[in-house]
Amino acid sequence: MSVQYINGSGAPIVRIKLAGTVVKSYSFPKTLGGLTEQWSSNDLEHTVINIDTLQPTRVFREGYWTGSFSLDYSAYMTNVYSLYVQEISNYARLSANGYEVWLMPRADRPDREYKVKMLNDFSIGITKGGTGAIGNKGIVMNFKTLDSFRYGQWVYGDLDKIVLQNFIVI
């Protein structure tokens, strides 16, 4: 039977890097609410002034994209994973110290890892059951890529059979 989906089917991984080295890695379960990717056109148009002639020239940069990712754990998340979210959020706020947050949306597609910014304000609830509750609810992690990418980012099939063409990070 052939694969009927794109971009992989594994669970998400978030890595914290410092000077290009992974210092922390967080493997999350598959999301109950789903992982949503959104790719937005990041075309640029600007004017360049020729310094010799002082004549303006319009310059276009087309075909570039930025991505957004939403990991929806609003139905259920255990305390361990909830604390991971807090740690990732803390590292995200240390970007001035050189820490970077990287998201691999699907573990079975390591070729799809993106440097991201975490965009969250969090709400954290408790599932029904009082002291017998099985975990937290209401947690959704949102990320946005910090780089622009040329062409689309959708991939299909087995990793060893894929050849990504025209993949340029700027």
- The pLDDT score that the predictor gives to residue 102 is 97
Residue 167, pLDDT > 50, answer no
**Pair 37, 68: CB distance under 8 Å:** yes
Residue 4, pLDDT > 80, answer no
**pLDDT tens-digit series, residues 21-56:** 999 999 999 887 778 888 887 776 767 888 888 888
* 50 assigned to some structural domain: yes
Q: Total domain count for the chain?
A: 1
- The pLDDT score that the predictor gives to residue 41 is 77
* 168 assigned to some structural domain: no
Residue 78, pLDDT > 60, answer yes
Verdict on whether the full-model pTM lies above 0.75: yes
* 123 assigned to some structural domain: yes
* 137 assigned to some structural domain: yes
- The pLDDT score that the predictor gives to residue 169 is 45
- Full residue range of the structural domain in which residue 150 is found: 21-161
